[in-house]
Amino acid sequence: MSITETTIQTEQEYVLQTYRRPPFVIEWGEGVTLYDAKGRAYLDLASGIAVNALGYGDPETLAALTAQAGKLIHVSNLYHTIPQAELARMLCQASFADRVFFCNSGSEAVDGALKFARKWAKTHFRPGKTGIVAFEHSFHGRTFGALSATSKEKYRAPFEPLVPGVTFAPFNHAGAAAKAIGPQTCAVIVEPVQGEGGIFAADPTFLQALRRLCDAHNALLIFDEVQCGLGRTGSLWAHEPAGVSPDLMTLAKPLGGGLPIGAVLLAQQVANAIEPGDHGSTFAANSLITAVAQVIFRRLNDPAFLAAIRDKGQYLDKGLRSLQARHATIVDIRGRGLMWGLDLAIKAQEVIKLGYQEGLILVGAGENILRLLPPLIVEKTHLDQALDGLDRILTQLEEK
Ligand SMILES: *Cc1c(COP(=O)(O)O)cnc(C)c1O
């Protein structure tokens, strides 16, 4: 048996089957290309779900990783360490935030933000101000807290009862938000661009309305930028075009260059409600990960790098529109920067499957939505390659 066959067989025998994986084994990557164990190349349009912003084998990332690994990997959060303090400073100086809490994933960041909001409300207001407002099509993660704010019934139902107090309002509907947010609300959580839910961008006026409603009802506004943040949409923060700031913001996916890290960014007035012992994590933001994250963050927070993302985004936008003109199976195209969703009249999974044969790694976002999340270092020639591949795939599926 080949290494591909034995690996797949072993995985299927011993790993809990929570994912359906395609029939190849990814062995290594370079730039925006992944290679399987049979030596086949794939253009990566998923980035490990918006994680690998700098692609694979970035020399500066590798240098930071190996240098820090030789010095210190982990000592826990009981002690001061240099790379963690430095990363926290960088994140605060580039955002609305005054403080950072570190954790290990996007779900943990959302859990942390919700806990901090509850503690803040308990500190300042009468009991009962515990309500959390989230939105339809939201995705905030799979842990109990984050899942409680995730709208998809299929993810929630098997695990109920979840954390109580969460209500869901229609996305991009200021009138409905005004009805949902009240004196009982302690926090409102929203993705400035919804990811898993299908690439729906919040209207700037919607985020502005949420800011006003939160201020009017003494509720905290949480922006979940785990997927859309850190340059993905062409600005460092996806909420920038709306011109409003949150009280808390969650980050994760691209921050560690593939190593697990999450972060909750907080305004000082929220931080004031938190005391030593209120929350914690053994692994969070160890020296290895934060040394790497500094490199990633510095590279992503470069105005020229961000401008290039906007430029490539416009190029992709144009290419996708001309693809849509030729393919009736493309119902709608949505996106910004290098975060795009294609609403299809067919199952996204069919396109993804043929994508593997074309040498394209694609992901879905629900049954009929194809998501494009290439590494942010992608070049226009790669985007042409992706568009040509999609053209052939859709032609093939339309002929069926
Ligand atoms: C992926 C995601 C999460 C959850 O992150 P994990 O690291 O998978 O726990 C939370 N919020 C958003 C917006 C995400 O896209």
**What is the per-residue pLDDT across 139-152, written as a single tens digit (0 to 9) for each?**
999 999 999 999 99
Going by C-alpha positions, the residue among 235, 226, 234, 241 that lies closest to residue 189 is 226
The atom number, within ligand 1, closest to the CA of 224 reads 13
pLDDT (average), residues 80-93: 98
Check pocket membership of 196 for ligand 1, CB cut-off 6 A: yes
In whole angstroms, what is the distance from residue 392 CA to residue 394 CA?
Answer: 6
Check pocket membership of 261 for ligand 1, CB cut-off 6 A: no
The dihedral of CA 229, 235, 236, 238: what is its sign?
negative
> Can you name the residues that pair with 201 across neighbouring β-strands?
193
pLDDT (average), residues 127-144: 98
Higher pLDDT, 110 or 400: 110
The atom number, within ligand 1, closest to the CA of 228 reads 13
Superfamily of segment(s) 3-58+303-398:
Aspartate Aminotransferase, domain 1 (3.90.1150.10)
Atom 11 (ligand 1) nearest CA:
140
**What is the per-residue pLDDT across 213-242, written as a single tens digit (0 to 9) for each?**
999 999 999 999 999 999 999 999 999 999
Right CATH for 72-300 from 3.40.640.10, 3.30.930.10, 3.30.460.80, 3.40.50.300: 3.40.640.10
Check pocket membership of 192 for ligand 1, CB cut-off 6 A: no
Check pocket membership of 366 for ligand 1, CB cut-off 6 A: no
CA of 253 to the centre of ligand 1 (A): 7
In whole angstroms, what is the distance from residue 259 CA to residue 130 CA?
Answer: 33
Measured distance between the N- and C-terminal CA atoms of the chain, rounded to whole angstroms: 34
What average pLDDT does the structure give for the chain? 98
Question: What stretches of the chain show up as alpha helix (H) in DSSP?
Answer: 3-14, 47-50, 59-71, 82-93, 106-124, 144-148, 153-156, 174-180, 204-216, 268-271, 287-300, 303-326, 348-358, 380-399
Q: Among 18, 108, 114, 140, which is best to mutate for testing ligand 1, by the most ligand atoms less than 8 A from CB?
A: 140
**What is the per-residue pLDDT across 295-339, written as a single tens digit (0 to 9) for each?**
999 999 999 999 999 999 999 999 999 999 999 999 999 999 999
Neighbours of 105 (CB within 10 A): 20
Check pocket membership of 140 for ligand 1, CB cut-off 6 A: yes
In whole angstroms, what is the distance from residue 55 CA to residue 379 CA?
Answer: 11
Check pocket membership of 223 for ligand 1, CB cut-off 6 A: no
Q: What is the dihedral of CA 50, 52, 54, 58, to 10 degrees?
A: 180
Atom 5 (ligand 1) nearest CA:
106
Check pocket membership of 252 for ligand 1, CB cut-off 6 A: yes
Q: If pLDDT is split at 50, 70 and 90, which confidence band does 400 have? A: confident
Check pocket membership of 141 for ligand 1, CB cut-off 6 A: yes
In whole angstroms, what is the distance from residue 192 CA to residue 205 CA?
Answer: 11
Check pocket membership of 226 for ligand 1, CB cut-off 6 A: yes
CA of 38 to the centre of ligand 1 (A): 31
Domain residue spans in the chain?
A: 3-58+303-398, 72-300
Check pocket membership of 106 for ligand 1, CB cut-off 6 A: yes
How much of the chain exceeds pLDDT 90, in percent?
A: 99
Q: Among 104, 139, 194, which is best to mutate for testing ligand 1, by the most ligand atoms less than 8 A from CB?
A: 139
**What is the per-residue pLDDT across 349-366, written as a single tens digit (0 to 9) for each?**
999 999 999 999 999 999
> Can you name the residues that pair with 263 across neighbouring β-strands?
102, 251
Rg of the chain in Å (alpha carbons): 21
